[in-house]
Structure formats: C-alpha cells, structure tokens
Amino acid sequence: MSGVYSIAIDLGGTIIKIGLIQEAEIVRFSTIPSDSERGLLHMLPKMERAIDALLLEEGIGGADLSAIGLAFPGMVNPMECRVISTNDKYDDACHIDLCRWADDHWGIPLVLENDARLAVIGEWLYGAAKGSGNVVMMTIGTGIGTGVILDNRPLVGYHHQAGSLGGHLVIDYRGRLCSCGNVGCVEAMASSFFLGDIIRSNDRVSPGFKEQASDWNFKRLFELMRQGDTDATIICEECMNVWSAAIVSYIHAYDPEVVVLGGGIMRSADIILPYINRRVDDRAWTPVDKVRIVLSELG
C-alpha cells in the first residue's frame, strides 16, 4: 500500500536523527553528525543519502512515503513551511525552501515545526504526559528548549513562538551574554554550549579544574559527581539550580499538571530528577497540589 510510511527528522545541534515511521512506530532509525555551524544546505545531501538508505533497507520506494516531518531547533512558521529565525545552528535555513527539497527528491509534502514543540506533542500523545491536558516539556542539551500543551492544545501564539523560548527566559539580568543577544538566559547559564564558560567563570572551583574546562561535558561531570568530586559537584548543582529556577517559572507561567524533562543531559536522570523535584517542590507556588516532574519516555 502506498503512503503508509513517513520520515521523521530531528535536526540536533550535534546529531541529526532520522527515523522511518509506520503508524506512529519507528521501523528503522539512523543518525549522522550534524556539523550545524556549517549550515543546513551543507547537510541536505547527507540527509538525502541517509533517508534513501533507510528506504532501501526496508525495501520500499518513494511511492510508499506520505510525508516528511522535520523538527528544527529555531523559530519556524509551520503554516508557510519556512524557518524564520535561527540561533547559531543551521543559520542558512531561513533561505532554504525545504518543502521544495522534499518534493524534488521524493515527491512528498514536508511538515516543519520547532523541535521542542514537537517533543512535547510526542510526550503528550504517546509518552510520559499521555492523558494530561496541560504539559510543559524542557529539553536540556546543547541548548535548552521548551514546548507547552495548554488545555489539550499545543501553545503556538501569534508569531508561532509561544512556549518555545523557555531557554531564553532571563534568570539573571547581570549574567552571561547569550547567543540570542540577551543576557542571563537559562541557556546561557546552564547548557552544554556554554559549559566551558560556566566552569571558567565559577570562583568556587579549583584552578586545575578550570584549565580543563574545554574538555569537560555533562556526562563526565555527573560521573565525577557520583564519585564525590567537589569541583564537578559545584558545577552540576549550579546548573541544576538554574534548571530548577526555570521550571518554577514555567509552572508559574503555564500552570501544568506535569513537566517532562528530556535531552541528552537527562541520561543522568538518577541525579537530576530527585534534585530538581526537591528544589521545585520547595520553591514553586502550587497551593493546590504539586506538579509532577518526570523523565521523557520517548528520548
């Protein structure tokens, strides 16, 4: 039967994930390094080859595809199928006709949406927030993104950016300059992209630890925290405090039933979830009941 498959693409800051989907189930899956600083046009031929390889492995042709869904790490206009603003990732995307790209290569339509909004839709329909009508999702990784479900509808807004800029809420107006041009954003204060600066600017960590700032990543830092390393613990707790403060703001702004946490950093959920739950429980103004904070089920 034709049109029973679709392609899902997640344009990450470091990895592009591509899935062949049949009736909401992932049939085949592949990843390629993104090299996002070189732009999206540079990556399109690699994405084409990866998609064609998935089709070949499954033994299907383009006639069996119904559409491509593409999750983009920036502001998009889904009605016009175009990227409207980027932030140091795939900065040429505003000038690329992605719908034409899909039509030229496979003769199918392309649906474009912000990556964090698609993430929260996935968790709301199929994952950790299934059955809840009011949801916030926070993705923590190279950057920090958010998506919101409000009264059983994805929050979009007049400029298609409502609920998507949780990584760029200001939590310290005297803080670090963010790549978006603002100062003290959640992303600037506690994301992988800024981790080296976060370590070097912390007066509590040792000089030797600062010298290795460019070599550290969150996976290693949380491993060291488990082992009782003082410097790693200082940095991890500082970042978890930032994430907790952001979540309190999301709770106050959107009044969700549940907050879902996802992204690569949540591989250390055994440390992060209990810490954030305690801190948010202590600080969020929730007189009726506590907001559940849970781990993404869909990755």
**Tens of pLDDT along 97-124?**
999 999 999 999 999 999 999 999 999 9
Q: Is the pLDDT of residue 267 over 50?
A: yes
Q: Which two tokens stand for residue 298?
A: 């869909």
The beta strand positions in 39-142, using DSSP E, are 65-72, 75-77, 82-85, 110-114, 135-140
Cα(50)–Cα(246) distance, integer angstroms: 36
**pLDDT tens string 26-76:** 999 999 999 888 899 999 999 999 999 999 999 998 788 999 999 999 999
pLDDT at 4: 87
Half-sphere exposure at residue 200, Cβ-oriented, CA atoms within 13 angstroms: 10
Q: At what angle do helices 98-106 and 44-58 cross, to 10 degrees?
A: 40
Write out pLDDT tens, residues 191-210.
Answer: 999 999 999 999 999 999 99
Q: What share of the chain is helix, strand, coil (3-state, %, to 5)?
A: 40, 25, 35
User: What per-residue confidence (pLDDT) applies to 299?
Assistant: 73
Query: What number of CA atoms fall less than 13 Å from residue 52's CA on the CB side?
Result: 9
Task: Find all residues with CB under 8 Å of 48, minimum gap 6, and list them.
Answer: 105
CA gap 158, 164 in Å, rounded: 12
pTM: 0.91
C-alpha span between 292 and 17 (Å, rounded):
29
Strand partners, 120: none
